[in-house]
Amino acid sequence: MSGGVDSSVAAALLKEDGYEVTGVFMRVWQPDFLTCSRTDDREEAMRAAAHLGIPFLTFDFEKEYKEKVVDYMIAEYTAGRTPNPDVMCNKHIKFRMFLDKAREMGADMIATGHYVRLGRESPKPKAQSPNKTQNPKSQTNSKFQLLKGIDVNKDQSYFLWTLTQEQLKYCLFPIGEYVKPKVREMARKYGLPNAERRDSQGVCFIGQFPMKEFLKNYIPEEKGGVLDTGGNIIGVHDGARLYTLGARHGFLVTKKTPNDPPHYVVAKSIANNTITVAPRDAEQCVTTRGTTQKTNLVKTGYIQETGLTEVNLISGEMPVAGKTYSVRFRYRQSLQEATITPSETYNISRFCFCSAETQNRGSSIRRPRFTRVESGQPTIYNIQFRAPQRAVTPGQSLVFYDGEECIGGGVIQ
């Protein structure tokens, strides 16, 4: 129980269904230079648990959270990538450490306030209706499915692509069947003291504090040039590592008129400490060389193909070759069509401006490091989008869907 409405309603629903429920607050690391919100969060969770008449515990994961989530995030930004700390929190803390500790203490299941649903697929592949109260011991011949939440605006499957069959069989997601207004209505019906509490925003351990300002405490500020797509210096920034593709704030464009549209980061060079910016959907001439030279007018910052590593397939089954799946590489992004192909190499087809250091990477690139899934297959994948995509950001999660089912995901290279 985080102190929010969603996890409190999840606890209320489970108690109403006859479960013996214990509320657990997870204490995680927060930086010393920020006002700590976890005391208020814990008090709200305690009040909700007391109102429901259920036991309340606190699990301390500060050390593990700092190592597995925060240190990882800082290292990724230092390397020039943009990680997703919420995905890492779910992977290492909520569905590993919390699950393991709860099981060690005798719990049969854990439940969270995520907006997702749990489904089952029988040995003969046929999707079943979600069943949130199923005993895992009776499902040994079935595969679990992670399904999108009913509320399309709150669906959180994007953050849970790292889950496995072994974890899902001990999970319940009570509010995944409901839309947020209904959850809020149920909170009022149950008389929960936090029924009107606002939803949390931002990364869990820093809240609404700007990520760039947080990172400046760990990554030295290093002024550098802002470039246009022609390589001309048009402004200044605080350090290339602090910016992500698609960002439009935090840098200064000096050579700009009042009528110019906003500029977005379309490329960056850690080696040269530069970022390249352009107006959204700006077009540029790109010449391709082959048997004949051809010049095309393409949108700046768009690509149609990318590589993926650290792939997890929730069912353990490989994607069907040539099949079109739905994918997203940002939370709440509309789903995009793409094919997913296992490969130890991938070809970067960039329908965009590329810096000199990325132009040299235009052909097939071998990735020597990869992990394996249960089937023993390498988890390097080539993602081919049906349409060019903007701001496909290295380090972010790209998640696969087959209809309502989230089948897995990986980290963009």
| β 143-148/233-237 pair status | unpaired
- For residue 95, give the DSSP letter: I
Q: Give the angle 15-21-26 at the CA atoms, nearest 5°.
A: 130
Ligand-binding site membership of 113 (annotated):
yes
Q: Is 89 a catalytic residue?
A: yes
Question: Cα-flanking dihedrals φ and ψ of residue 382, to 5°?
Answer: -100, 125
To the nearest 10°, the Cα dihedral for 404, 84, 237, 221? 180
The CA distance from 398 to 408, in Å, is 9
Question: Cα-flanking dihedrals φ and ψ of residue 52, to 5°?
Answer: -80, -10
The CA distance from 358 to 362, in Å, is 7
Q: Which of 89, 171, 352, 354 is catalytic?
A: 89
Q: Give the angle 104-105-109 at the CA atoms, nearest 5°.
A: 80
The CA distance from 351 to 412, in Å, is 17
- Of the candidates 368, 312, 371, the residue with the CA atom closest to the CA atom of residue 340: 312
The CA distance from 316 to 148, in Å, is 19
Q: Is 354 a catalytic residue?
A: no
Contact 197, 44 (CB under 8 A): yes
| β 274-279/224-227 pair status | parallel
Ligand-binding site membership of 46 (annotated):
no
Q: Is 225 left (phi over 0), alpha (psi -120 to 50) or beta?
A: beta
Question: Cα-flanking dihedrals φ and ψ of residue 355, to 5°?
Answer: -70, 170
Contact 43, 81 (CB under 8 A): no
Q: Which of 204, 352, 354, 406 is catalytic?
A: 204
Q: What is the 3-state secondary structure (H, E, C) of 231-262?
A: CCEEEEECCHHHCCCCCCCCCEECCCCCCCCC
- Of the candidates 37, 14, 29, the residue with the CA atom closest to the CA atom of residue 113: 14
- For residue 198, give the DSSP letter: P
Question: Binding site, residues?
Answer: 26, 113
Q: Which residues are catalytic?
A: 89, 204
Question: Binding site for ATP, residues?
Answer: 26, 113
